[in-house]
Amino acid sequence: MLYSSIFYVISLVQIKFGGFTFPQNPADNSSSFISTNDWFGIFDTMHFNISIWSYSALFYNVILFVPFGIFLLLLFNLKSNKKAISIVILSCSGIYFAGLLFGETGVVMRNNGNTDIIYLLFNVLGGVLGIFLVKYAVNYIHSYKLNSQTKIVE
């Protein structure tokens, strides 16, 4: 579970930031087989296509953060919904502000900024949805175990 959550976080950072593309030195004449811009170009293209206003982009932003809420509850065993939701809000805000900072410095491709707040809200919605999916699944499993135990006793 821990390794899958680490892989998820690394993938999330790559997808949300569009890949880290450090500017190459124009004075460097050495030709490499694959340049940094070629390697991360797929992330730039994907991020550009997703960041255009559409219902699929909104759905993608919700689905992208559902595992975050699931991993948050399963790995850290949080009992309070308020604490879990506040961690989701702070994490999504941190990713948003890190994207703004990296976009200003030129490390990642900058978004146009028109839909960033809406995407942030849908990211939070996805994390909260993941939290409630885990809570519902745990309650359902516990009620199923209790019902099966009472049938055995009867």
Give me the pLDDT at residue 65, please.
Answer: 92
Question: 71 and 6 in contact (C-beta within 8 Å)?
Answer: no
Q: How many CA atoms lie within 13 A of 112 on its CB side?
A: 10
Question: 134 and 73 in contact (C-beta within 8 Å)?
Answer: yes
The verdict on pTM exceeding 0.75 is no
Residues 6+ apart with CB under 8 A from 120: 92, 93, 96
Helix (H) / strand (E) containing 61? helix 55-76
Please tell me the total number of residues recorded for the chain in this structure: 154
Residues 6+ apart with CB under 8 A from 15: 43, 46, 47, 64
Give me the pLDDT at residue 33, please.
Answer: 43
Measured CA to CA, the distance from residue 76 to residue 38 in angstroms comes to 38
What does the block give as tokens for 22?
């450090």
Q: 96 vs 9, 23, 81, 118, CA distance in Å?
A: 14, 22, 22, 11
pLDDT digits (tens, 9 = 90+) for 2-36: 778 888 887 887 777 766 555 555 555 554 444 44
In the chain, which stretches have pLDDT less than 70?
18-54, 109-115, 150-154
